[in-house]
């Protein structure tokens, strides 16, 4: 009986109830969209960092991360790659030759990290070829090709087919320089990466890193074959959830090698992943604090308008417990209608945008500074919608307590004489 009376009371003032329901629904819709968009920014950043730069796991010489010196390299790279590729969790693996040096043109020079890659395996791990905006990826029949970012090209005042010089230390500690020709310009959307990295083919870089004078009787080809080295092995997994498991296997297989996952390689990613739930909770709490006052105001107004009616119900025998329950139920009914409506609108909005994304190219200059993509794909997270639904339920329940308490404090005689 109380439930039926409460439901009818909700619709006695249809305009007021409709306004409250609409306000709550719009608020829930806005909250679900904003959180999905915010999560999309975070997940897009993490996904791009893993796919374009870090991969899930990397192997190095234990001393290499300290100063990125090329003399700290991994031996028997081919054997290691074959062993890693056999792991069922691994999707792709590649080896890189890395040197810290300087790139210079006829006009200027700047410090860079020179990354020597195997074009075929690198494409499987990072899909780097998709970042080429001008020119082309490495051609198999050409030597001394280099890929530089558009930003570096602008600063060096060079263009496609221009000749640039890379200067770095070889494995004997001697300064060496080699001329390369620009084959393509890339743009990863991450200014931090674009400013400091240039890419060449691993064999071209390795040829210059190795000191031929140390073995004068060996040909360059023989020396390259005998020196099966790399400074870095990058591994991309089929499922990111298996990172810890694969890391343990790699440590057992290569005990003298430093194995790091992407959290260790980039602590900011670990921070984003661990803090995303905390930040979502804070936003939800702030929103619910604003919502609770709106609901209290509406229900308190409804109670004061029915002062005389509530006094009459008490006078004819309805106890305070039932009055309290009736006001609480009226508030809960408003929330139970508004929340699904708002969540449905939020779900639909995110569903329509999750594949096409939201274009933020107008803010590209600022986003590149933080390595954030200019196209954001909102994340459709069922757990997030459940949390919002629970938060609305709790908020509505809390908001009903004060008006209900106000109603049960009425004195029937005074209420009946209320004008």
DSSP string computed for 337-361: HHHHHHHHHHHHHHHHHTTT-EE-G
Which residues make Cβ contacts (< 8 Å) with residue 349, sequence separation at least 6? 29, 32, 33, 378
Which tens digits make up the pLDDT trace of 86-95?
A: 999 999 999 9
Q: Which residues contact 35 (CB under 8 A, 6 or more apart)?
A: 280, 283, 284, 384, 388
Structure tokens at 416: 């009946």
Please give the pLDDT value at position 415. 53
The residues, any chain, with a CB within 8 Å of residue 118's CB and separated by 6 or more, are 94, 95, 201, 202
Number of other residues whose CB lies within 10 A of the CB of residue 226: 11
Over residues 134-144, the mean pLDDT reads 88
CB atoms within 10 A of CB 26: 14
252-288 residue pLDDT tens: 999 999 999 998 888 888 777 778 888 888 888 988 8
- 3-class state of residue 242 by DSSP: helix
Q: How is residue 182 annotated by DSSP?
A: E
What's the whole-number mean pLDDT along residues 36-51? 85
Pairing of strands 197-201, 145-149: antiparallel
327: pLDDT strictly greater than 80: yes
Between β-strands 175-186 and 145-149, what pairing exists: parallel, antiparallel or unpaired? parallel
CA-atom Rg of the chain in angstroms: 32
Checking if the pLDDT of 311 tops 50, the result is yes
């Amino acid at each position: 009986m109380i439930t039926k009376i409460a439901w009818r009371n909700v619709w006695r003032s249809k305009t007021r109830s409709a306004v409250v329901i609409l306000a709550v629904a719009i608020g829930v819709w806005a909250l679900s969209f904003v959180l999905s968009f915010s999560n999309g920014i975070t997940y897009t950043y993490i996904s791009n960092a893993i796919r374009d730069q870090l991969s899930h796991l990397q192997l190095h010489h234990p001393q290499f991360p300290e100063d990125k010196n090329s003399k700290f390299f991994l031996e028997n790279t081919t054997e290691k790659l074959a062993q890693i590729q056999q792991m069922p969790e691994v999707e792709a693996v590649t080896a890189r030759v890395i040197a810290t040096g300087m790139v210079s043109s006829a006009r200027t020079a700047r410090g860079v990290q020179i990354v020597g890659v195997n074009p075929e395996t690198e494409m499987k791990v990072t899909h780097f070829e998709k970042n080429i905006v001008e020119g082309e990826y490495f051609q198999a029949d050409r030597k001394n090709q280099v890929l530089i970012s558009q930003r570096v090209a602008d600063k060096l005042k060079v263009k496609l087919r221009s000749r640039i010089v890379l200067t770095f230390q070889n494995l004997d500690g001697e300064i060496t320089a080699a001329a390369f020709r620009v084959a393509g310009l890339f743009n990863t959307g991450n200014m931090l990466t674009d400013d400091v990295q240039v890419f060449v083919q691993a064999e071209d870089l390795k040829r210059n890193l190795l000191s031929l004078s140390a073995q004068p009787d060996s040909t360059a080809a023989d020396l390259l074959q005998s020196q099966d080295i790399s400074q870095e092995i990058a591994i991309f997994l089929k499922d990111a959830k298996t990172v810890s498991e694969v890391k343990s296997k790699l440590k057992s297989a290569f005990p003298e090698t430093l194995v790091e996952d992407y959290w260790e390689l980039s602590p900011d990613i670990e921070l984003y992943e661990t803090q995303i739930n905390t930040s979502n909770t804070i936003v939800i709490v702030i929103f619910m604090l604003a919502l609770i006052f709106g609901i209290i105001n509406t229900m308190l107004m409804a109670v004061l308008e029915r002062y005389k009616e509530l006094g009459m119900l008490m006078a004819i025998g309805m106890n305070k417990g039932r009055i309290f329950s009736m006001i609480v139920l009226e508030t809960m009914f408003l929330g139970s209608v508004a929340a699904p409506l708002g969540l449905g609108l939020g779900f639909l909005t995110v569903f329509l945008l999750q594949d096409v994304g939201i274009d933020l190219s107008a803010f590209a200059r600022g986003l590149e500074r933080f390595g954030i993509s200019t196209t954001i794909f909102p994340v459709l997270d069922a757990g997030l919608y459940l949390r919002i639904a629970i938060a609305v339920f709790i908020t509505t329940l809390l908001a009903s307590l004060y008006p209900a308490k106000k109603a049960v404090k009425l004195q029937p005689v005074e209420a009946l004489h209320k004008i």
